[in-house]
């Protein structure tokens, strides 16, 4: 279970939270890439009420992408997740969970444990 929790922490901190932080930086106009600046211009042309709705949509999409990626590994017959440091590279971290994509949710799920942005966070 230790490897599963370590995987969850990595996923939340380096995928979910990083994606949310990048979105928030784009929303503020802090990122200077052409693409980020174009999105910032579009976002800033939207009224505040609709910006709040966009925030909810973006957070939801980020969580759905993570859910679907984990579901893919859970269901795959060809690919798995393993720890590079294990002596036996065939040890499957996916097998430690009774539902890898479900590890994201619940009161003691990965999002609640490790994220700066718990489910239902308002910006």
What does the mean pLDDT of the chain come to?
90
pLDDT range class, residue 90, cuts 50, 70, 90: low
Nearest to 1, CA basis, from 73, 68, 91, 116:
91
Does pTM top 0.85 for this prediction? no
The count of structural domains within the chain is 1
The answer to whether residue 121 is domain-embedded is no
Contacts of 78 (CB under 8 A, 6+ apart): none
Please determine, for residue 35, whether its predicted confidence score (pLDDT) is greater than 70.
yes
The answer to whether residue 88 is domain-embedded is yes
The answer to whether residue 15 is domain-embedded is yes
Q: Which domain holds residue 38?
A: 2-114
């Amino acid at each position: 279970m230790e490897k599963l929790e370590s995987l969850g922490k990595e996923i939340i901190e380096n995928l979910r939270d990083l994606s949310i932080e990048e979105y928030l930086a784009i929303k503020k106009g802090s990122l200077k890439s052409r693409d980020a600046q174009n999105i910032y211009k579009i976002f800033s042309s939207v009224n505040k009420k609709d910006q709040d709705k966009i925030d909810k949509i973006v957070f939801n999409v980020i969580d759905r992408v993570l859910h679907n990626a984990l579901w893919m590994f859970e269901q795959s017959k060809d690919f798995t997740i393993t720890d590079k440091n294990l002596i036996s590279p065939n040890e499957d971290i996916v097998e430690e969970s009774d539902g890898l994509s479900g590890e994201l949710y619940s009161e003691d799920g990965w999002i609640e444990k490790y994220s700066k942005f718990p489910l239902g966070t308002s910006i």
